[in-house]
Amino acid sequence: MSRTESLFRESAETQHKLLVAYLCVGDPSVEESIDLAHTCLEAGADILELGVPFSDPSADGPTIARASERAVARGVGLSHAFEVARAVCNRAPVVLFGYYNPLFVYGEARFGEDARTAGIDAVLVVDLPFDEASPLASAIAPIGYVPLLAPTTSQERLLTLGAHTRALRCPFAYYVSVAGITGSTTLNPVQAAARAREVSEQTSLPVVIGFGIDSAEKAREASKGAAGIVVGSAIVKRIEERASKAERKARVHAFVSELRRALDVPC
């Protein structure tokens, strides 16, 4: 069992809700991404999701798209994501979050090798649906592939995925809580929690909920139907809004701590 799977299992037993924190690598700099990753872990995040900047982030809302554009302009790419992963992987599981083209052009076999060396635990590719994912999943073994599921995903597809989770080595599934882009404002956390529960039952995978969770209340509501929650745009926004490194660190620490406290309130 991988350490991510162990973490999900233990958390289920102890009723600990997992907090996944997303950072866009290289925004505002690679060194600061490392620092902020540590900050997130210190504030109570359980898993780090490292976003690989891409020139055409068509699934992302304006906040992450801007961060991505800033990082791409600085020449940040996969190798920098590996650098951040190496710096923090001994503290927590690291999930790489990106678009397919940078991985594909890097070469899937080479990517697998370098991702293993960097200590990455799982890979999530927003424009690589699970039925196109087996070449990548084979190339990155034993690293896991995290499937994204959406409100529009049919029952039939959930069952198909359920039959392939072992071949794809899915440590967990990511439930996209709204039909939309990252940072969406239309999330109904109660509905999302109910649907995530079904998704988990049908795929036999632990599920985290993401897209649109921007407050402690939403985090807590959504987490009721899932193993954990993912917060991305709301963290990136706090980084974008602050002028100094110290302020950014303090803001992120305060926000992630607030999310942690909300998740830890007994149901």
**Rule CB under 8 A: which residues touch another protein?**
54-59, 61, 65, 69, 72, 75, 77-78, 99-106, 126-132, 147-154, 157, 176, 179-181, 184
Find the catalytic residue in 5, 27, 60, 221.
Answer: 60
Cα gap 103→125, rounded to integer Å:
9
CA dist 60 and 47 (Å) reads 20
User: Which tokens go with 201?
Assistant: 């039952």
Q: Of the residues 49, 83, 214, 221, which is catalytic?
A: 49
**Catalytic status, residue 60:** yes
In the complex, minimum distance from the CB of residue 3 to another protein, in angstroms, rounded to a whole number: 26
Known catalytic residue at 49: yes
Which is closer to another protein, CB of 72 or CB of 120? 72
Which residues, 6+ apart, have CB-to-CB distance to 168 below 8 Å?
Answer: 130, 133, 134, 137, 144, 145, 147
Whether a cis peptide bond, with omega within 30° of 0, leads into 142 is yes
The answer to whether the beta carbons of residues 228 and 200 sit under 8 Å apart is no
CB of residue 97 vs another protein: minimum separation in angstroms?
A: 13
For another protein, which is the closer residue by CB, 143 or 199? 199
For another protein, give the closer residue by CB, 10 or 131.
131
Query: Measured between alpha carbons, how far is 96 from 78 in angstroms, rounded to an integer?
Result: 9
Taking the complex as a whole, the smallest distance from the CB of residue 178 to another protein amounts, in Å, to 8
Query: Annotated catalytic sites, by residue?
Result: 49, 60
